[in-house]
Amino acid sequence: MSIPSMWKIIRSPSTHLSLGVLTLGGFMAGVVFWGAFNTGLEATNTEEFCISCHEMEANVYQELQETVHWSNNSGVRATCPDCHVPHNWTDKIARKMQASKEVFGKLFGTIDTREKFLDKRLELAQHEWQRFSANKSLECRNCHDYNSMNFDNMSEKAQVQMRRAAERDQSCLDCHKGIAHELPDMLEGVSEAFAQLEQSAAVSGFDTGKTYYSIRQLPIYEDPQLAVEAGQLNAATPVKVLEIDGDSLKVELSGWRRTKGFGRVINEDFGFNISSGHLSKAAAQNDQLVSGFERKEDDMTGLEWERINAVVWMRAGSLAESTEMIWDYAKETYQSSCSVCHTQPDENHFDANTWPGMFNGMLSFVNLDGDSQAVILKYLQKHSSDFSDDKH
Amino acid sequence: MSINRRNFLKGILASSAASMVGPSLLVRSAQAAQNDPGIWRITGSHWGAFRARVYGGKVVEVKPFEMDSHPTDMLNGIEGIIYSPSRVRYPMVRYDWYKNRHNSDTSQRGDNRFIRVTWDEALDLFHEELERIQTQYGPWALHAGQTGWRQTGQLHSCGNHMQRAVAMHGNFIKKVGDYSTGAGQTILPYVLGSTEVYAQGTSWPLILENSKLIVLWANDPVKNLQVGWACETHESYRYLDQLKQKVADGEIRVVSIDPVRSKTQKFLGCEQQYINPQTDVAMMLAIAHTLYTEKLHDQKFLDTYCLGFERFVPYLLGESEDKVEKTPEWAAEICGVEAEVIRELARAMAADRTQLLFGWCIQRQQHGEQPYWMGAVLAAMLGQIGQPGGGVSYAHHYSSIGVPSSGASGPGAFPRNPDQGQKPIHDNDDFNGYSKTIPVARWVDAILEPGKKIDYNGGKVTLPNLKMMVISGCNPWHHHQDRNRMKQAFRNLETVVTIDFNWTASCRFSDIVLPACTQFERNDIDQYGSYSTRGILAMQRLVDPLFQSRTDFHIFTDLCRRFGKHKEYSRGKGEMEWLRELYEGCRDANKGKFAMPEFAQFWDEGYVDFGAGKPWTRHAAFRDDPELKALGTPSGFIEIFSRKIDRYGYDNCKGHPMWFEKSERSHGGPGSDRFPLWLQSCHPDQRLHSQMCESEAYRSTYSVRGREPIYLSPEDARRRGIRDGDLVRVYNDRGQLLAGARVTDDFATGVVRIHEGAWYGPMDESIGALDTYGDPNTVTQDLGASKLSQATSANTCLVEIEKYVGEVPPVTAFGGPVEVR
Amino acid sequence: MNSFSELSETRASIYWWFSTLFASELNDEQLQAYCGEEGRDFLQGLADNGLSEEVGALQQVLQQLAAQDQPRLELAADFTQCFLVDQKSSALPYASVYLSDDGLLYQQPHLDMLDLLQSEGLAVNEGMNEPADHLAIMLDYLGNLVMQGVNSSSDAEQGMLLEKQLSFIEQQLMSWVPAFVERTQQLKQTFFYPKVAMLLLAYLRLDQTFLSD
C-alpha cells in the first residue's frame, strides 16, 4: 500500500481493511516507515480515533462522561489516550499491539453488541489493570502527583487512605479501579461495599513462592481445571502460590486440624479456632492433597491436633498481597454495624476462641453479607487479646 | 380589646403595678373553629404498633395496628406517656449545684430543689463539665456507658446520640453486659458457643408439632411477650393459643417449674411444679443423677457432640468436690420437691421429645451462671439438642423469639460511634491504669472503691475513679440494686447529667436534667418484629415536642455545636434526610429478595410487609455437622466441663455446673431465720420495667393503697396479721419500703414478689429512708453473681414484712396529694 | 372614665398581676418593684381590701427575701419547686391535672380553654408552648374578660359581662384552683409561691362574692 493512501485510510478508519496494516504487517515495514508510522500512530492516539468505533463510543465513552475525569471544578479533562496510551514510546507500541488485538475484535465483531461487550469487559479491564499495576499507574501521574496533593482538603476518611498511599507511592489503580468507566460485574451476589474492597485489594498478577491472602471465601479444587471441588478457603487466609497455570493457581495452605472427626476444618494455628478453610471429606482424607506432620494435645480441650499442609488449586483472583485493606474494611464495617444497639466490644476484649460464639450470637442483628461476616470474624480473631498487647 | 397592658395600667393602681405585670401571654387570633375529625397516624412502640388520631394538635384516640392479632392492653397507657404530669418540661439544674457546681453539697441529692434554666445555659453547663472532667481528671472519670431499654425507633435511639456526641468530645468509661442476662450471656458462650439469650430459637410451629413435653423453667412468657425490644408484633401469642389447645387436648404436657403460679400457667392450664426459691440447680442435678443412674441419658449424643461429661459424672455421684451424691433425696431436702417427683420428671423428659424453655429471672441471682449451664447439661444428656421441639432455649419469652425470621434485613440506626477518622477534642486515651470497660453492674462498686481490682470473666478489671456520669434513656435508680448503697455512692459523684422525658428517680438524683421528648413527638422508622423482621414500620410524629422538650438528635447536635462538631455529628443532615437514608439502606440490603417501595410511598403508607418466615431449628446445623458447623466454644463442642473456666480458679464458678449455697436463701437456707421471706423482683406484668409506671391511670389498675403491690401467700399474711389491701413495711438490713399487700394462693409460703420497675420515692434523702411507693431494689443486694460474670444478683434477697402502723406518708414517687388514711 | 370602668381596670390588673406571677420566674426588674415603694403600696392596697392575712404572709416573706444572698435565684428555685417539677414535688398549675380522670395534661379543660379563647378572638402566644389550661393563661384570659367592662355603658351590658366573668370563675377556675392551692400548701422546701397561691384563692373568693351580688 502506498503511504498516502494508508494515511488517508488511517485518517478514516471506518474501513475494515486499513488497520490490517498494523496488525499484520505494520512492523515489518521497519524503521524506514518510522516517521509516517509515528504520525500514523499519533493519529490513532486521539480520542476521535478511539471513539470512531461504535463499541468504544457507545460503551466506555458514555461511562466516562459520568465521571470526574470528564467534568469537574477545574475543567481539566482526560481523553482516551491520556490514560490508555503509554506516553513512553515502547510501551506505547506494546499497548498498541495489544490494542490491535482489540481492534481485531472490532474487525471480527467480538464485541459488537452491548451484551458481548459486557461479557468481555472483565478481560479487557484486567489487561489495563495489569498494565497500570506494572507501571505503578504511570499514566495517572502525568497529571496527578502525590507531592502536589493537598491532603488537608480531603475528607477525614480520604486523608487517612491517601496519606498512606503517598507514603508508599502506591499505584493509583490499586484503589481507584473504576474511576473512569464502570466496573466489570465480576462479583455476583457480593454486596457493593464488599465489592469495593475486592476491587481495591485484589492483585492481577502473581508470583510463585509469594504468599497472598484471600479476600473472601473462595472455592478450592483438586485439579488445575477447577473441576473437582476440594473445599473452601476462608477469608483473609494466607496461601503460598506454588504454580501458575493460566487462570489457575496451585497453592499451599498450611495449618492445623483436629484429628477428631473427618479433619475437614483447617485452623490457622495450633489450638486456635481461627478458620483458614475447610476441605471436603474426600480431600481431607486424601494424602496426595494433605500431608500430616506432628500431633499435639490441646490442653484447653483435651483434643488432639495435627499440623498439615494442603495443596490445592484455585482461580487466580480475589487475592490480596497483604491483609491491610481487608482489615481496614473489616474494622470500619464492624464499628458501624455492631454499634447499633450497644457499643461494640473492643477487638481485644475477647480472645480468639471466644469471638466465634459472641459473633454468632449477634449476627441476626446486622445486615452483613456472608463474605463480610467471614472477614469481620477473622479480623476480630486476629486482633483479639491473643494478638494484642493493648491494655483493656 | 387592647392587649397592651402597660398603657392602660397607667390608670389607678397603675404606677405601682406596672412594672410588676409582665407581657401578655395571649395574642389576637382569627383562627376558625376546627371541625375536622382529626388525622390518623401510624407509629410503633415497645408495646406494639398502633394508629393514633390527632385532633386539635392532641392525641385523642389510640387503636392497635391491624396486623397485631394480640395487642396488649398496655396501649391504654400510651396517652398517659405523652401527657404525663411527670414529664420533664424544661431543662433543670439542681439548685445547690447551680450555685456551687462540682463543690455542691451532694448529700442533698435526691431531695434538692431545682432551678429552671434555658437550653443554652443547660448545654453550656453540660459542655463545661465535660471539659473540666477531661482536663482536670481524664477519660477514666467519666461514665457514659450505662444501659437501658430506651424508646423505640432506629434514628432517634437515644443511647446512640448521647454516646456519639460525648465520644466526639472525649473518651470515657464504657460497660460490658447488661442487667437482663448478665450471667447467662457470659456463661453460655463457654457451654453452647453463643450468648443464646438474644438469638432466634426453634420455631414455635416445630415445637408444637414435635414436642411432647415442654418444661417452662422459671418462665412466664404470657407476661413477658407483651413488650419487645423493637416494635413488638405479639406474633408469639398465636402459638401460645395453639399450645393451650394442645394442653387441653392432652397432646402436649407442659410443666411450669416455678415457686409461683404464673400468668402463663393459668393461661395454658398447665401443671405447676413448686420448687423452693434459688434451688433449681439442685433439682436439675438430681434429674441428671436419675438419668444417669437409670441409664436414660443419650451416651452417643454425649460422645459425639459434647466434651467433659466424664469429668462431671464424679460430681454427680459424690466422688468429687463436696463429695455429696446428688440423689433426688438429697435434692428433695433443699428443693422442697419429693424425690419420687424428681425421678418421675426425669423419666418423662427422657421418654419423649422434650423442649426446655428457661426464663431470665433465674439467672439474676447469685451464681446465676449455674442454672443455665446445668440446663444445657440436662439437654445434652437428653440428647435432643438440634432436633425440632427438643433441646434448650433461653429466650422464647423475649420479643417473639420463636416466630420464624422472614430473612429480610432491617434498617440500620443513627451511628453510635463517631465517623471514621474523627478524633475527639480530647484525644487522651490514657485511663490512668483503670480499665476502660467495666461489667455493667459494678459501677457503684467503682464509685465506692475506686482502684479496686476484681475478677471478671478470666481477667482482671480495675474499677475506675468515677467523677461524672451521663445517663440517657435508662434509669439506674430503677435497675440497679441496694438503693441505700447507691445513695452513699452518689455522694461521691461531682456531676450527674440525665436526659429523659420523665421525672424518674434518676432525674431526681441528678444535677442537670435535660428534657427529651417522647418517641411520639418525632418521626422515626422501626423494624416490625425484633427477630421475626416481619416488616418495616413508619413511626409518624403524632404531636410536636411538648413544652421545651427536644429530640435527642436536637439536644446533642446543639451540645456538639459548643465544640464546633455539630456538622460532623449530624453529617449535615436533618431528621427526614436521615430517615430516607436509613430506609434506602434497608431497601438496598433487601434488593432482589424483598421488594420495598420508594421512601415517599413508604412514609405515606406507613408499613412494608415482608411476610412470614420459614420454620427453623436451633442447633440443627451443629447436630447435622458438628465439624463444619462447630459451636463457638473452645473445642467446638458442647462443653459440659470447661477447662477454660476451670483454669480461672474461681471459687464460685468452676469447671462444671455445681450447686452453691446462696449468701441468703429462704426455706431453711442461710439468713432465713432472721428474714424468712424470699423476695422475687421479676419483670412486671403491666409495665416495661419502669416505663409506664408514671401513668397514673394505668397504675391505678394494679396498685394497692396507691403503692406497688407485694404478693404473698395466705399463710404468711395470716401469721403476720396482714389482710389483702393492707399497707405493709417490707424490710431487711439493707433498707425498707412500703407496699400494698395482695394476698393470693398463687404464692407459696415463704415466697413474695414485688415487680421491678416500681418508681423509687424515698421519704427524704437520708440513707435508710423509707421508700414510699414500693421499689424492691431498696432491699436487694448489690453483689456480683460470681467472678465470672459480675452480673446482678437481684433475686438473692430475703426480707421480712409487717403490717404498717403509724402515720402514713404520702406516695412521693410521682403523684399528687394521694392521702392514704 | 366611670367607676365601673375604673373598677374593671383595677380588677383586670390584679388578675394580670397574678397571671404574671404564675407564668414564670420574676426577673430583676420585677423583683425590685416588690421591694420598692410601688410594690408596697400595691400590696397594701390589696390588704386593705379584705386580704390582710394573706398579704401579710406574703409581705413577711418578701422582707426575709430582701435579706437573702441572691433573692432572685432563691425565688426562681422556689418557683421551680412549686410549679415546674413533677406532681410529686410540685403543684402543677394546669386544670387538667386536677379535673381529668387520669390527672393527665392536655385534657378536656385544655380543649375547653382553646374554645373559650377562640370565641373571644384570642389564642395563646405560640412561643409559650404550654397547654391552654395553665393557670397563668386562664388568669390572663379572665383579665381580658374583665377588661371588656371598660368600654361598657349600659347596665344590662355590664350585668352580662359580670355574669360571664362569674361563670368563668366558678366553672373554669374554682373547680380546681382550691385543690391546686391545697397542694401548694403541702409542698416541701417552698416559701413564697404557696403564699401567692393562697392570696389568689382568697382574691378569687372575694371577687366571686362581689360578682354574685
Task: Give the other-Cβ count within 10 Å of B321's Cβ.
Answer: 13
Q: Is A175 annotated as a binding residue?
A: yes
Whether residue A153 is contained in a domain is answered as: yes
Instruction: Tell me the C-alpha to C-alpha distance, in Å, between residue C61 and each of B92, C79, C81, C192.
Output: 25, 14, 16, 6
Nearest-CB residue to B589 (from A343, A362, A367): A367
> Could you report the per-residue pLDDT of C101-116, keeping only the tens digit for each?
888 999 999 999 999 9
User: Would the pLDDT of B282 be above 50?
Assistant: yes
B343's grid cell: 425421678
Rg of the Cα atoms in chain B: 28
Sequential DSSP letters for B225-251: TT--SSB---THHHHHHHHHHHHHTTS
Are B630 and A392 in contact (CB < 8 Å)?
A: no
How far is the alpha carbon of B96 from chain C, nearest alpha carbon, in Å?
10
Are B420 and A344 in contact (CB < 8 Å)?
A: no
Whether residue A343 is contained in a domain is answered as: yes
Q: Do chains A and C touch (3 or more CB pairs under 8 A)?
A: no
> Which one of A152, A174, A196 terminates a domain?
A174
Find which of A54-68, A83-97, B733-747 is predicted with most confidence, using mean pLDDT: B733-747
Which chain B residue is nearest to residue C40, measuring alpha carbons?
A: B16
Contacts of B506 in chain C (CB under 8 A): none
Domain count, chain A: 3
CATH number at residue A354: 1.10.760
Of the pLDDT bands very low, low, confident and very high (cuts 50, 70, 90), residue A43 is low
> Could you report the per-residue pLDDT of B463-488, keeping only the tens digit for each?
999 999 999 989 999 999 999 999 99
How far is the alpha carbon of A131 from chain B, nearest alpha carbon, in Å?
32
Mutate one of C69, C87, C150, C196 to test the B interface: name it (highest B CB count within 10 A): C87
Domains and CATH numbers, chain B: 24-66 (no CATH), 92-179+409-598 (3.40.50.740), 201-404+617-648 (3.40.228.10), 677-819 (2.40.40.20)
- Same domain, yes or no, for A70 and A106? yes
CB A241 within 8 A of CB A268: no
Question: Phi and psi dihedrals of A384, rounded to 5?
Answer: -75, 180
Of the pLDDT bands very low, low, confident and very high (cuts 50, 70, 90), residue B14 is very low
Are B16 and C70 in contact (CB < 8 Å)?
A: no
CB B709 within 8 A of CB B717: no
Of the pLDDT bands very low, low, confident and very high (cuts 50, 70, 90), residue B36 is low
B626's grid cell: 458438628
Are A261 and B199 in contact (CB < 8 Å)?
A: no
Question: CA-to-CA distance for A15 and A190, rounded, in angstroms?
Answer: 42
Nearest-CB residue to B193 (from A265, A339, A356): A356
- Same domain, yes or no, for A136 and A160? yes
> Could you report the per-residue pLDDT of B141-159, keeping only the tens digit for each?
999 988 889 999 999 999 9
Could you report the predicted ipTM of this complex, rounded to two decimals?
0.95
User: Would the pLDDT of C74 be above 60?
Assistant: yes
Question: Phi and psi dihedrals of C68, rounded to 5?
Answer: -75, 160
- B752-762: average pLDDT: 92
User: Would the pLDDT of A341 be above 80?
Assistant: no
Write b or e for each residue in C139-151: b if 16 or more Cβ atoms lie within 10 A of its Cβ, otherwise e: bbbbbbbbbbbbe
- B159-175: average pLDDT: 96
Nearest-CB residue to B174 (from A258, A343, A359): A343
CB B388 within 8 A of CB B620: yes
Containing B268, the helix (H) or strand (E) segment is: helix B263-268
Are B85 and C29 in contact (CB < 8 Å)?
A: no
CB pairs under 8 A between B and C: 200
Q: What is the DSSP letter of A16?
A: T
Sheet holding B253-257, edge to edge: B271-273, B253-257, B213-217, B354-358, B391-393
Question: CA-to-CA distance for B544 and B204, rounded, in angstroms?
Answer: 41
Are C104 and B696 in contact (CB < 8 Å)?
A: yes
Across chain C, mean pLDDT equals 91
Instruction: Tell me the C-alpha to C-alpha distance, in Å, between residue B165 and each of A332, A362, B815.
Output: 19, 25, 34
In terms of residue numbers, what domain contains C198?
Answer: 1-212
- B268-276: average pLDDT: 97
Whether residue A72 is contained in a domain is answered as: yes
Are C123 and B29 in contact (CB < 8 Å)?
A: yes
What are the E-state strand segments in chain A? 211-214, 218-221, 229-233, 238-245, 248-258, 265-267, 275-279, 290-298, 303-315, 319-320
A113's grid cell: 453488541
Are A349 and B437 in contact (CB < 8 Å)?
A: yes
Q: Grid cell 455445681 — which residue?
A: B658
Contacts of B626 in chain A (CB under 8 A): 261
pLDDT of residue B820: 26
pLDDT of residue A93: 63
Are A261 and B160 in contact (CB < 8 Å)?
A: no
Are B816 and C87 in contact (CB < 8 Å)?
A: yes
Are B19 and C147 in contact (CB < 8 Å)?
A: no
B533's grid cell: 423482621
Domain count, chain C: 1
Instruction: Tell me the C-alpha to C-alpha distance, in Å, between residue B331 and each of B338, B347, B653, C203.
Output: 8, 16, 20, 75
Q: Is A383 annotated as a binding residue?
A: no
- C42-54: average pLDDT: 87
- Same domain, yes or no, for A305 and A349? no
3-state secondary structure of C38: helix
Q: Grid cell 401443671 — which residue?
A: B271
CB pairs under 8 A between A and B: 128
> Could you report the per-residue pLDDT of B572-583, keeping only the tens digit for each?
999 999 999 999
Going by C-beta distance under 8 Å and a sequence separation of 6 or more, which residues neighbour residue A348? A383, A384, A385, A387, A388, A390, A392
Are A364 and B199 in contact (CB < 8 Å)?
A: yes
Whether residue A194 is contained in a domain is answered as: no
> Could you report the per-residue pLDDT of B632-685, keeping only the tens digit for each?
999 999 999 999 999 999 999 999 999 999 999 999 999 999 999 999 999 999
Interface check C116 vs B, CB under 8 A: no
Sequential DSSP letters for A69-103: TTS-TT-----HHHHHS-SSHHHHHHHHHHHHHHH
> Which one of A268, A300, A320 terminates a domain?
A320
- Same domain, yes or no, for A59 and A165? yes
CB B166 within 8 A of CB B172: yes
Are B632 and A192 in contact (CB < 8 Å)?
A: no
3-state secondary structure of B509: coil
pLDDT of residue B18: 66
Nearest-CB residue to B632 (from A261, A346, A360): A360
Across chain B, mean pLDDT equals 93
Going by C-beta distance under 8 Å and a sequence separation of 6 or more, which residues neighbour residue C175? C95, C98, C99
What are the E-state strand segments in A259-378? 265-267, 275-279, 290-298, 303-315, 319-320
Nearest-CB residue to C124 (from B3, B25, B546): B25
3-state secondary structure of B751: strand
User: Would the pLDDT of B55 be above 90?
Assistant: no
In terms of residue numbers, what domain contains A374?
Answer: 324-387
Which chain B residue is nearest to residue C18, measuring alpha carbons?
A: B21
User: Would the pLDDT of A37 be above 50?
Assistant: no
> Could you report the per-residue pLDDT of B399-413, keeping only the tens digit for each?
999 999 999 999 999
Mutate one of B113, B550, B773 to test the C interface: name it (highest C CB count within 10 A): B113
Mutate one of B154, B180, B403, B628 to test the A interface: name it (highest A CB count within 10 A): B628
Going by C-beta distance under 8 Å and a sequence separation of 6 or more, which residues neighbour residue A315? A218, A219, A226, A247, A248, A249
Which chain C residue is nearest to residue B22, measuring alpha carbons?
A: C20
pLDDT of residue C210: 87
- Same domain, yes or no, for A335 and A373? yes
Residue of higher predicted confidence among A40 and C81: C81
Residue of higher predicted confidence among B448 and A146: B448
Q: Is B479 annotated as a binding residue?
A: yes
Percent of chain B with pLDDT over 70: 96
How far is the alpha carbon of C77 from chain B, nearest alpha carbon, in Å?
5
pTM: 0.85
Q: Grid cell 418495616 — which residue?
A: B536
- Same domain, yes or no, for A158 and A98? yes
Whether residue A114 is contained in a domain is answered as: yes
Q: Do chains A and B touch (3 or more CB pairs under 8 A)?
A: yes
Whether residue A95 is contained in a domain is answered as: yes
Q: Is B475 annotated as a binding residue?
A: yes
Contacts of B644 in chain A (CB under 8 A): 300
- Same domain, yes or no, for A369 and A255? no
Of the pLDDT bands very low, low, confident and very high (cuts 50, 70, 90), residue A13 is very low
Beta pairing, strands B751-753 & B677-680: parallel
User: Would the pLDDT of A173 be above 90?
Assistant: no
- Same domain, yes or no, for A144 and A254? no
Question: CA-to-CA distance for C117 and C126, rounded, in angstroms?
Answer: 14
Contacts of C122 in chain B (CB under 8 A): 26-29
- Residue B422, Cβ density class (10 Å: 0-12 exposed, 13-18 middle, ≥19 buried): middle
- B288-305: average pLDDT: 97
Instruction: Tell me the C-alpha to C-alpha distance, in Å, between residue A106 and each of A19, A91, A112, A335.
Output: 11, 22, 7, 48
Are C140 and B25 in contact (CB < 8 Å)?
A: yes
How far is the alpha carbon of C212 from chain B, nearest alpha carbon, in Å?
24
CA dihedral sign of residues B744, B750, B756, B761: positive
- A220-230: average pLDDT: 94
Beta pairing, strands B798-803 & B354-358: unpaired
Question: CA-to-CA distance for C179 and C186, rounded, in angstroms?
Answer: 11
Which chain A residue is nearest to residue B432, measuring alpha carbons?
A: A391
Contacts of C179 in chain B (CB under 8 A): 817
- B239-250: average pLDDT: 98
- Same domain, yes or no, for A55 and A167? yes
The amino acid sitting at B808 is V
Task: Give the other-Cβ count within 10 Å of A391's Cβ.
Answer: 12
> Which one of A292, A320, A348 terminates a domain?
A320
CATH number at residue C145: 1.10.3480.10
- Same domain, yes or no, for A169 and A256? no
- Same domain, yes or no, for A148 and A239? no
- Same domain, yes or no, for A224 and A276? yes
